Amino acid sequence: VTINLHHKKTFNVKAINLSDQNFYIEKVVLNGKDYLKGYITHQQIMEGGILEFYMTNRAVTGQKMNGDENDNK
């Protein structure tokens, strides 16, 4: 999915390896860096970039998400 933003910026969302069997999220990468939060902010979208979901056929356990709502990085 590509979202066209102001000033010719785009925000892209990709699902890598998505298939009928690969519907679990293995990891999330935002602009080339591992992303451990369970949300993205409006500001992050408006800055443009790429949000990638790496998909797998196995449930990933043991991964902790950072939920600090005051951290907009």
Q: What is the pLDDT of residue 55?
A: 97
Q: What confidence tens digit (pLDDT) does each residue in 31-57 have?
A: 999 999 999 999 999 999 999 999 999
Q: What is the pLDDT of residue 72?
A: 46
CA 45 → CA 2, 7, 9, 49, 66, distances in Å? 11, 13, 10, 7, 18
Q: What's the rounded Cα separation, in Å, for the pair 39 and 18?
A: 20
Q: What is the mean pLDDT of the chain?
A: 90
Q: What is the pLDDT of residue 61?
A: 83
60 band by pLDDT with thresholds 50, 70 and 90: confident
